[in-house]
Amino acid sequence: MSWLVASSAAGVSPRIIEWITGATVPDDVGAASVVFERPLPTWAWFLVVVGACAIGWWSYRRLSGSQSAASRAMRGALALFRAAAIVLVALLIAGPSLRLERIRIERDRLVVLVDRSQSLAIEDGAAGRSRDAEMRGILANAEETLATIARDKDIDFAGFAGGVFSLGADAGADADAPLADGAAQRPRSMVPEIGEANGDRTDLDGALRQALARAAGRPVSGILLLSDGRSATPVSTETFRTLERDAIPVFAVPLGSGARVGDAAIISVAAPSRAFVRDRVPVEVRVDRGGVEGALTVRLVDAETGAELDAETVEADGGDGSNLGVRDEASEDGAPAESGVADETVVMLDMSATDAGRRSMRVEIAPARPDLVRENNARTVSVELVDRPIRVLYVEGSSRWEYRYLKNLLIREQDIESSVMLLSADRDFAQEGNMPIARLPRTAEEFGRYDLFVIGDVPGGFFSPEQLAIIRGEVSERGAGLLWIGGDRSTPSSWEGTPLADLLPFRPPLSLEARVGASMIRPTVAAERLGVLRLAETPTGWPETLVDRGLSWPKLRFVQSVPRARVKPTAEVIAQAESADALGEDPSAAVLRMRFGAGEIIYVATDEIWRWRYGQGERYPERFWVPLVRLLARESLAADGGGATLTVTPSRVTPGESVLVTLRLGDESAAEAAAQSLPLEIRGADGNPIARLDLVRDGADATASFPADRLGSFQAVATDPSFGSADAPFEVVRADDELRRGDADHEALAVLAARTKGRVLGAEAIEELPQLLPARAREIDESLLESLWDTPLAFGMLLVLLALEWTGRRLLRLV
């Protein structure tokens, strides 16, 4: 509609207006004015008035009657009454209304965003205070400043981490009215309770967008952001454009240290779930240096006694071979990664114990300088140690030198029970081993007594197809180990086309040529991770004498050449052979490892480890073979877990994901005795159950799904009289670890403030905020409109004019 102000009458009493319009008028209205719904321009109103006067004059110009002066005056009055009635009708047709002015001031608001993520617990503030304590001090000191702002603006406090949430009502709404002397009374507290800083992640971009949405179209004079600047999601271009378009400045108050302090953290710890007593159990620790300078000490301690079991030091260079048991991420063949020194370092620790039972250990890192977060400097790991002999079946084709020494080593080792079958022996020859056999096992039950099968230079046709199928099943299903020792006659060439050909870690053809000339063996970083081939306590774990080209006894005269191109993708090289004479010749794989189903397989491409006895005794051969035997036999312990094994996949998830718990019944008696539904407990780190589920059987397997909804380390435990007890650990970690990179990002806050025409404010500079905030309050017109054309007053005025004209005409005897 178009409105035309015809007149105004300031100071008119609301009661008079109510009498005129018949409507209820609020007391807070201002000036009153008349407006028209169908306004006419001034010249049109002039024509209306002239036309009305002309009609009135023409109506009474020639009327008969007395021509006295009184009569003429009366006719003139009647003409005016008619003209006035016509003008009044025109006014009513134009739609007159009474406009009562009413203006409301909408206050602008200051949005205060308070970071409530876990990174605020980091103690890198002044005097060693945490960022959270620093922020609380800043807010407490800013009470007066906020009270000044609250006199003219509303203040909206909001916390944020992964999202935005309210911290209290608008502060400005709580401000009291001015006192009699004109001074505004300050609220009791301008800052609401901000709660604990426990957010799992920080999304600064989402916080800014949600803060603008919370304003819901109300004017925003600025955003006061108290944060360390860390954010999983950087501020997007779209958010910057919105802030710039609406001219909303961001005033950032950075928390924490602006200089990078760094935060070392343990990313993961991996160790076998079960091992034999006196095993050298490897514990792989993945450490993130997090920019920490100086050395890091990684310790493995007994969780119950606190005794140190092993320790390694990671130097500032991240491990270049000078640190024992330390390596950076490397390529598959063991060469250093081309990208240089990574921030993530793998540290290999190990432990050994003589007592059976579950052993709980704690891995700790201790930086040379204090780092940001201490909570991620420790992890727990547990290993169940089993006290029983390792049972080995060794089958050899001929009495070669390697056989003689390895056989004696197996017999001599107190934790190993061996059965040795020499094929070239006479019929009257008594087969050796402390578990002697007269023939090879024929049934699955007989093969199932062994944890490890060692196959030397044996023709593949010596075994029946049934025996080979049983060995394959024992490795893939039960987790038995398989150790191949290459030879110049039958292994591996005669095994092509047999059921065990797939259990060799390289592709056909299986005829391997011998390397030309003498060779020397050197382990790769994969050996460190597995805890094998550590023959000496040197920085590399390998004796320098074994790679000394000036000595003759370490040189191996026979090593099969396994080209790298033929190594299977799932296999890894744990030792390589290099020429003892020609420098620069390409090395070949000498010891390979491959996983097949539930079992482990190792292929040794030489039978001359016995040469290392020269002048050294049994030390080097024993340290070479025994850890390999223990590593391969370890997987078979899964089948000895009281008749059942429990697995959790995946073993590491994030909140909201689910894990699949699978129980496999290991023997027929347990499968027959077990019920169709088996109880399962999920226990927390303190050992207390947090959930109880039912495992639903399907043959020998029983499964259940568990939704992971909280962080921490957990243990799945299944218990039933049919099999005893079985357990498996799993871990629930943050999808985006808030403390993984804890350094404050003040630069990001500075960019945000600069692009939005705001400022970075120190703790004392917040006092300047009232002068920096623009005035964005706006007037909102809430004027009232009351129509006049349909009021009794308008009808009465028209009726009076018509009545006056009619009365005059009666007096003049015109009607």
- Is residue 422 within 8 A of residue 447, CB to CB? The reply is no
For the chain, the helix, strand and coil percentages under 3-state DSSP, each to the nearest 5: 30, 30, 45
CA dihedral 443, 448, 449, 454 (to 10 degrees): 90
Q: 652: which 2 tokens?
A: 């590491």
Written as one string, the DSSP assignment of 526-556 is HHHHHT----SSSTTSS-GGGG-TT-STT-B
- What separation in angstroms does the CA of 375 have from each of 20, 176, 284, 348, 585? 77, 45, 20, 21, 49
pLDDT at 513: 92
The answer to whether residues 444 and 476 touch, using CB atoms and an 8 Å cutoff, is no
Task: State the amino acid at position 468 in one-letter form.
Answer: L
Residue 640 has what pLDDT?
56
Chain center to CA of 676: 38
Q: What is the largest CA-CA distance in the chain?
A: 172
CA of 456: how far to CAs of 196, 434, 608, in Å?
65, 19, 13
> Which residues, in sequence order, are CB contacts of 340 under 8 Å at separation 6+?
none
What lies within 8 Å, CB to CB, of 172 at 6+ separation is 107, 109, 149, 150, 153, 154, 155
Backbone φ and ψ of 110, nearest 5°: -105, 125
**Residue 670: HSE in the Cβ half-sphere, 13 Å Cα cutoff:** 25
Residue 594 and residue 599: Cα distance in Å, rounded?
A: 9
Q: The pTM is what?
A: 0.62
What pLDDT was estimated at residue 741? 64
3-state secondary structure of 423: coil
Segments in the chain below pLDDT 50: 1-11, 169-187, 318-325, 327-342
- By three-state DSSP, how is residue 76 classified? helix
> In terms of residues, how long is the chain?
815
Cβ–Cβ under 8 Å, residues 706 and 728: no
Cα–Cα distance measured from residue 50 to residue 42, given in angstroms and rounded to the nearest whole number: 12
Helix H or strand E segment including 344: strand 344-351
The reported pLDDT for the residue numbered 10 is: 43
DSSP 386: E
Contact between residue 74 and residue 811 where contact means Cβ atoms under 8 Å apart: yes
Cβ contact 10:31 at 8 Å: yes
Rounded to 5 degrees, what are φ and ψ at 473? -65, -40
How confident is the model at residue 28, as a pLDDT? 63
pLDDT at 269: 84
